[in-house]
Structure formats: structure tokens, C-alpha cells
Amino acid sequence: MISVKELQEIDLTSYTIIFTAISVLFAVIFSIVITLLFGILAPGNIGIALYLIPTLVVGAFMIGIYRYFSEGLFFNLLAKKLKNIKIALNDGEIVKISPTETATILATIATIQAILLYLISVIILPLMINTAIQTFMLSGQQLIAMELYQIMMIISQPMTIIMFIFGTFIITFISILIGAYIYNILASKGRGVELELSEENGMTVIESIDMMKFAIAAAIIGGILNLIFGIIMLISGGNIVTLISNVITGFVGGFISAALIAIFYNFLAPKLGKLKIKLTI
């Protein structure tokens, strides 16, 4: 029996903890891959990769806490002001999501984060670039110093800032809107993501995620989105090889990323705490 519910709230603690932990595991895997590549391609520089490992892992931990806490916080605030995301469930299977509401809220969250990122970069980035410019000037690398100066001037232009903010909203909105429509088509054909759900203190708990269905849905959505944007780039002067590689990357990357997220979630959730959300009729 299909029931349509509204996503009204995300539990900040469980959302931040579980997805920060997943990010850390991704960082560990990436670090191992980088180390292996250094070992194969440049054995003499493998020490650099070994130094990168703790940096990447700690960085993923710190960024994860900020990113997921802020995402959950902004979602909870926006859910009270905008139309809530509607989710149709059939025995744990997500058979439909509301495209417009989903795209609006998630694009708004991405834009707010982009603005905050810019405000932080206004303080930190000029200091870093100025230091780099002085270093290159003193070392006789005036050409590189001039290029960095030009980059700093471009970044500080009001038009660049406006394009960055509005571009973030528009690209995110369109991508999620198309992705949601694609998902609804897949779900209508029995390819929807299946979740094992339970109830706890008025909250819906996600016990586990069906890895294969999640990975297949993400792969198809990623492949089609890359195909659409690839066609746009092809019309704008790109080449067919880039289009094909983008589609393959979207499909394979979407499948692997989603599969790992589901595997990591199913492994970590019983240990760190399962994600809790508030769904209301």
C-alpha cells in the first residue's frame, strides 16, 4: 500500500555522525589508492603520499562535521518556510519523490553553503594568494606571481561572485530536478530504492539501505545527467570522446559511490546510530 509522507525534519546528531563517518571511510580509501599509485608510478615519492593520509582523513572528518551539520540545520529551517519534500513509500520502497520541492530545498541549501564558503574565502584566500605571490616574486617567478594576481582579481570581481552564487543555485536545481524525474520513472518500473524502516519516538529510523537498487538507480541517474550535460557541451564545441567518457564516468562513478555509501551505512549504522527522520502524512 502506497503512502505519501512529507519529510519535515532530519535528526542533526544521527545525520552528522553517520555521514561524517562515511566521508572518513571514503577518505581512507582515497588515501590508500593515492599511496598505491605513488608506489607504482613514483616509488621515490611515496613518503609524500604517506604524509597525505592523515591530512586527508582529518580533513574529511572536519569538513564532514561542518557540511552535514549545516545541511541538516538548513534543511530543518527551510522545511518550515518552503514546501516540504513529499515521498511516496510502498513497504519501504521509495516509489516517488516530489521533484520541484526537492530541487528547491536542496538548491537553496547548496547556495547558502556557497555564500558561506565565499565569505570565508574572502578572508582566507587573499592572504594565501598574497603570501604565494610574494614567495614567487622573491624566487624570481614573476610570471607565476602575475597569474596568481590575475586569478585573485577575477575572484574578487562582483560579477564573478554573482555568477558563482546564482550558478550554484541554477545548476543544482536543474540537476536535482532532472534527477528526481529520472528516479520517478525508474521507480515506476520497480527500480526504486528500498529501505528497511522502523519507528522510534515519533521518528522514522532507516535501518538499512538495499545496496544494489540504490547503486543501480544512482548509476542510471548519473549516466543520464552526464549524457544531457555532455550533449550541451558537444553543441558548444566539445567532442564525442569527451561525451562518451563523461557518460561512462557518470554511470560507473554513480554505481560505485552509491554502492559504497550503502555498504558503509549498513555497516556503521548499528554501531554509530541509524539516521532518523520525521515523516508526517
Predicted model pTM: 0.82
Candidate from 35-39, 65-69, 99-103, 192-196 with smallest mean pLDDT: 35-39
Q: One-letter amino acid identity for 232?
A: I
Q: How far apart are CA 205 and CA 275, in angstroms?
A: 6
Distances (CA, A) of 33 to 29, 36, 221, 224, 238: 6, 5, 26, 28, 30
Mean pLDDT, to the nearest integer, of 162-173? 84
pLDDT tops 90 at residue 202 = no
pLDDT tops 90 at residue 242 = no
Q: How far apart are CA 191 and CA 216, in angstroms?
A: 8
In which band, very low, low, confident or very high, does the pLDDT at 32 lie, cut at 50, 70 and 90? confident
Condensed to tens digits (0 to 9), the pLDDT of residues 93-127 reads 999 999 999 999 999 999 998 888 777 666 665 55
Q: How far apart are CA 155 and CA 148, in angstroms?
A: 11
Condensed to tens digits (0 to 9), the pLDDT of residues 1-18 reads 788 899 999 999 999 999
Determine the structural domain holding residue 267 and report its residue range.
2-280
- Give the chain's domain count: 1
pLDDT at 261: 95
CB 222 within 8 A of CB 189: no
